[in-house]
Structure 1
Amino acid sequence: MSGSMSDGARVAFLDVDGTYADHGTVPAVHEEAVRAARRAGHRVLLCTGRPESMLPPSLLAAGFDGVVATAGAFVRLDGDVVADLRFPDDLATRVRHVLDAHDVAYLLETPDAVYGPVGLDARLVRRGDAAPHEILDVLKMPGDLSGVRYAKISYFDSPTPIAALRTELGPEVGILPSSYADTGDNAGEIHLAGVHKAVGMAAVMEHLGLSPAQSVGIGDGYNDVEMLQYAGTAVAVEGAPPAVLAEADLVVPGPAGGGVAEAFARLGMLDGVA
């Protein structure tokens, strides 16, 4: 499907957790909607805060044209890497040192694996994380993390409030609440300032020679705000935070209600492209 697209075709970007899937489980109606939209001539990509290494086969079973991963820092389209943004070495070191000083549990996210301090696996299991197997299956704990060139950090079990961490980490990074809704106030995601899902979306659309107006974004979390602002058609999931709902042109149910399928149907994406 590489190359030109029909004038009526769209490129859909789907958030994963709470939008396309519920705690890693994808409804059959969503898989079929993705297949049907692609058969109709549209492109469909996952657009997630997760790194590519944390996208198991069960999430990809429907078949996708690519993925915008790590909240916009990594883009793969038609099998090719289009973007791969990592923390500069000096900033990467400083951020790790701040987190270590506060005894924060954290994951350094890369496309190939996630890395953490020794003992992180035990902390994950002890706290009963929402989907520990998806992390543990790709987690590496080499002891020395200085050589890990990471794109984003997920952290949890922080004894220090987010506001205090924000001050110490400085303006080069941004902090968002965790993508997992049930991880509490002591969890979050640390990303490069100015890097978000819309950055990855723009890389896709520019690579395809298309305008933002031809894009559809569907999401439910704080890290989806920029995605919905960029998208030609913004779709939010019922129950999303007010900041997310405020950007929506359309509101649909969550995964249990087949919201992605409903959005595609209401936008005419299950019909053939003229």
Structure 2
Amino acid sequence: MNRSLRFFRIVESVRGDGAVILLGDKGTSRTVDSRVRISYTLSMASYKAVFTDLDGTLLHEDGKISPQTQEVLVRLRARGVPVFIATGRSVCATKAAVGGLGLDTPFICYNGTVVYDPLTSDWLRHETLDDRVAQGLIEVAHENALFYFVFHKDSKVTLPPRYPFQSDFYGRLENMRIVPRFEDLPRRSVTKVSIFTPEDDGDRVVIEYLERHGSDHYIERFPMGSIPGFRDFTFHTTDVHARAGGKGAGMRFVMARYGLDPSEVIAIGDHRNDLSMLLEAGLAVAVGDAPPEVLAAAHRVIDHDDGEGVGRLLAEIFDL
């Protein structure tokens, strides 16, 4: 038996809905969906590392970490508990968000396709889009006059702006590289292609292309206005990069380097791109407004509370 199950025993199965009731040896009980891997443990001292998402989880609405949560993270580091960031953001955007913490642990970026060491600036893991798919995406976006970026390593490569809003958008971003001609855009070793459209279904030509040319890719769609610093932009974003196992694969890569067992890890997230990470962890924590399938995978649910929910949870678990 997985050692993280040692505090629970099944006392009743509920027919038809896949639920089971687990009774803890300290008198606690929990009803769970049997399709979700159960690895919750009451032994708080067994947790040795924390993996946390940024946007919607650790960060305040203004894109910063609250002073209270920062203090908790500093105390965790002082106690020797490493904190790992796992995000869909680029490397430079991750640095901007957590630079004040002085973290010396690897960042899991681009939804797990990249693991970056902030101490050495090494890209420890870098899974790129299939070259054929990357080139096709760029051509489809260009032929349909879509606005797009090609991420080459961590640089955002694009063509000169055609509209005033693009100039404003470019001015808010780091690591921008503008090339004069379509032929100058990178087509090999592409980390990600981001496509921006005025409507949420404006990317349909891109989706249709990907469906016709099946490949192991990951698609994330979201309104640009959901990102701190870009609230005034109304267009929608479609990110396409290599699937590569998601954040869960990035987490496994880091755990192997640090000699961590999944049962020793806490993972915290709020969205579908966090699901693979939550299912790997000994303690999976979801933010309360997460989608149903993310909540179903969680052992605990917390309020976001402008990022302070994470700080309160960790202070409780580690008795800080």
Any idea what SS the aligned residue of 1:55 has? helix
For residues 1-274 of structure 1, what are the structure 2 equivalents within 5 Å?
8-21=46-59, 22-64=61-103, 65-77=105-117, 79=120, 80-119=122-161, 122-124=164-166, 134=172, 136-143=173-180, 144-146=184-186, 149-157=189-197, 159-161=202-204, 163-178=207-222, 182=226, 186-256=236-306, 258-268=308-318, 270-271=319-320
User: Does the Cα contact within 8 Å between 2:127 and 2:244 map onto a contact in 1?
Assistant: no
The structure whose RCO (Cα within 8 Å, separation 6+) is larger is 1
Please identify, of 176-185 and 142-151, the stretch whose mean Cα deviation from structure 2 is larger. 176-185
CA distance in 2, matches of 1:257, 1:25: 9
Q: Which has the higher strand share?
A: 2
CA distance in 1, matches of 2:193, 2:66: 28
Q: What is the deviation of 1:244?
A: 1.7
Number of residue pairs matched by the alignment:
259
Q: Report the equivalent of 1:3.
A: none
User: Does the Cα contact within 8 Å between 1:220 and 1:240 map onto a contact in 2?
Assistant: yes
Q: What is the deviation of 1:203?
A: 0.5
TM-score normalised to the size of structure 2? 0.71
CA distance in 2, matches of 1:172, 1:121: 34
Q: What is the deviation of 1:264?
A: 0.7
CA distance in 1, matches of 2:93, 2:307: 25
The one-letter amino acid paired with 1:20 is L
User: Does the Cα contact within 8 Å between 1:153 and 1:190 map onto a contact in 2?
Assistant: yes
CA 1:255–1:96: 2 relative to 1, 3 Å:
farther
Instruction: Report sequence identity in percent.
Output: 25
Q: Radius of gyration: which is bigger?
A: 2
Q: What is the deviation of 1:200?
A: 0.8
CA 1:265–1:245: 2 relative to 1, 3 Å:
same
What are structure 2's unaligned runs of at least 5 residues?
Answer: 1-44, 227-232
CA 1:124–1:245: 2 relative to 1, 3 Å:
farther
Q: Report the equivalent of 1:4.
A: none
CA distance in 1, matches of 2:96, 2:130: 31
CA distance in 2, matches of 1:138, 1:114: 6
| Aligned-residue CA RMSD (Å) | 2.8
Q: What is the deviation of 1:125?
A: 5.6
CA distance in 2, matches of 1:229, 1:11: 15
